[in-house]
Structure formats: structure tokens, C-alpha cells
Amino acid sequence: MQNRFLIELSQELPVASYYELLSICDDSGCFFEYGSDGFAVVSGETKSVEKAAFVKRISLIISEAAKLENLKDIALPKGTFFVRFTDSSNCHDSKMESRIGEMLHGQGRVNFKNPDYIIRAYHWHRWYICRETYSNDPKEFQKRRAPLRPFFSPVSIDPKYARFMINISATKEGDTVLDPFCGTGGILIEAHMLHRKIIGIDQSLEMVTGSRLNLKFLGIRDYEIINSDFLTWHTDKKIDAIITDLPYGRSSPTFGNEIDQLYEGAFEAFSKILKKNKRCIVILSDPSLLKYSKNNFVTLAVIGKRVHKSLTRYFCCLYRK
């Protein structure tokens, strides 16, 4: 019987967090059972889930029941522990931690400073007693934020959202990811962190130079970054995924190309170098521009993220026919 895990998800963009987890489960062989309210249950191997952008914590389910009093005779591993309690409906307070600790016969075994493991108790539709197996360190993404890199642009993508884009691309380690409008290299950095081969293209020599500088700053040496107009660039390679933040507005120059002309040409070029049955993940500021993708792509998902009052960015997952 496969192990079952309770997953805590970041809720800054709930639709994205569930779509990412579903995508990872589909690609890795673990099974997404159900989810809501910032939680999900997954069965099988969760190593790949640990690489998700929006997963906060993973805990092995030891016991579960409809009512707390039905959780009896729970066998915990040897060693010391402490209890942390989370209630999705906020109908219980933190005093439950002591009650659950007593129920688990924790007397003499509670250690808050250096425990052997952490017990996570959840009230979410049912009661769950779990052992924490993974906790995300948000500082890891923070260390790679654009302002902390040598070369910075105001429109640089947040590392967490770049990671999300890689995770919904249906690629695996060793696959080749292309960012044809690579800017400062944020997507390439996260792709490399997930052991993809990376190729970046940008028409701006300044961006190409800056992107190379950022990758080297983070210790990345195995990459290909090309100074070229992607619409006139040719290659015999077939790419496993195209992942990019398409130029938009005044802050992202299109070098004389009108937006409609650029997008029409870009989607046509994407279709020529992307392998069939593979995915293209793009960010748009206007989802109506997906009309230029319809000849060669099927839209799987469009997830909007509001940036400010007048701007929403759309993460679009496309499938190459």
C-alpha cells in the first residue's frame, strides 16, 4: 500500500498552486487524491512534489478519522517530538496541541528545541495525525530574487513563478527548455535548478550580457544564451518545452514589431521548433492574444495574477498539436 501525504499549499495564487501540484503528480506517478482550502492529499512518492513552487509542507499521514476521539492507539516512531496543530476552519485553538500531545502519550518525549521529528495535526474535513517529512524554506527563493542578482530589470520574473512555469511544462531532468525572450535569465535559472538543459535568446545585447552575468553569479556554467531576434533565428534542434515571459507594454521593447505582429510570428516560430505533444508556457498581459496560437496549439490553462489595478499577467499552458 502506498504512503499517503497531506500537502499544505501556499494560497497567494490558489488556482496556480493546485494546477502545479496536479501537473507534478501527472508527470511523476504520484497520485493526487483531492484538495481544497490550501490542502491536498497525495499518495505515492513525493520527492518531485518537494520541488514545487507553492508547496509549503509535506507530512506523512499516520492516522485519520472523522472525529478526534476516534484517533486511538496511534503508533508513533521512537524518539522525541512536538505537536503543531492547524485548523482549516478555525474552530479550535492552539490548546489542541497539548491535548493531542497527551493523546499521543507524549509525556517525557516532547522536545521543542531538537526533536527527532515533528507531528502535524490537522482538522480539515477530517482529523489527520501526520509526521512532517518536508518543509519549504522561503529564503531559498528570496536568495534568487532579481534585485539580489548582479543584473536587474524591473520586469524580471519572481523565482517562485518561474519555478511554477517549469513545473507545469511536463518536462523532466535532462530535457531542453528554451526561453526565446530570456531577459535577465530568471526562467533559465529555475530551469537549471531543476536539472533541465537551458537555451536563452534575446535581441538585446544588454539583456544577453546581463543574463550570462546572473547565471555565472549563481554558479551556472552549462548554458547557451544567444543574442538574436528569435523571429529570424534558425535551429535544427527540437525543443522539449518553450517557457517565456512574452514582451508587453512600454517596459518591454519589441524592437519595432507591433504586439500583434510579434505574437503571431512568435507562436508560428514556437510551433516549428517545439516537439509535437510538448508544452509551451507563456505569460501574457492580454489573453486574447492567444488567438495567434490556435493553429498549432491547444490551450490547457490560463491563470491570471493581478499585478496592480491596471495590469494582470496571465500564465498560459499550451499543448503543441
Q: CB within 8 A of 93, min separation 6: which ones?
A: none
Let me know whether 77 and 176 are in one domain.
Answer: no
Please count the residues of the chain.
321
Number of domains in the chain: 2
Sign of the torsion angle spanned by Cα atoms 223, 224, 226, 229? negative
Average pLDDT per block of 10 residues along the chain, 321 residues long: 95 96 94 96 96 98 94 91 90 83 92 97 96 95 94 92 98 98 97 98 96 97 97 92 85 64 95 97 96 97 93 97 95
> Is-contact 85 92, C-beta < 8 A?
yes
Instruction: Look at residue 19 in the predicted model and tell me its pLDDT.
Output: 98
Say if residue 184 is in the same domain as residue 131.
Answer: no
321 contacts: CB under 8 Å, gap ≥ 6: 276, 296, 297, 298
DSSP label at 199? E
Q: Of 100, 135, 170, which one is at a domain's C-terminal end? A: 135
Identify the domain containing residue 25 by its residue range: 4-135
Across-strand partners of 58? 7, 134
Is there a single domain that holds both residue 162 and residue 148?
A: yes
Q: Are residues 18 and 144 in the same domain?
A: no
| Whether residue 147 sits in one domain with residue 130 | no
What are the backbone angles phi and psi of residue 58, rounded to the nearest 5°? Answer: -125, 130
**Domain harbouring 117, CATH code:** 3.30.2130.30
Same domain (yes/no): 90, 156: no
pLDDT of 89 reads 78
Residues 32 and 149 in one domain: no
Domain boundary among 108, 135, 162: 135
Q: Are 167 and 23 in contact (CB under 8 A)?
A: yes
Residue 133 has a pLDDT of: 98
pLDDT of residue 251: 47
- Output the pLDDT for position 90: 74
Asked if 299 and 158 sit in the same domain, the reply is yes
- Partnered with residue 57 across adjacent β-strands are 8, 135
What DSSP assignment string belongs to 91-158? -S-TTHHHHHHHHTT-TTTB-SSS-SEEEEEEEESEEEEEEEEEE--THHHHTT-GGGSSS--TTPPP
SS3 84: strand
Shared-domain flag, residues 252 and 272: yes
For 206, the 3-state DSSP assignment is: helix
In this structure, the answer to whether residues 130 and 157 fall within a common structural domain is no
Q: What is the pLDDT of residue 255?
A: 54
pLDDT of residue 45: 94
Q: What CATH code is carried by the domain that includes residue 261?
A: 3.40.50.150
Same domain, 293 and 146: yes
Please tell me the predicted confidence (pLDDT) of residue 117: 98
Q: pTM to 2 decimals?
A: 0.94
Q: Which of 85, 107, 135 is the last residue of a domain?
A: 135
Both 198 and 56 in a single domain? no
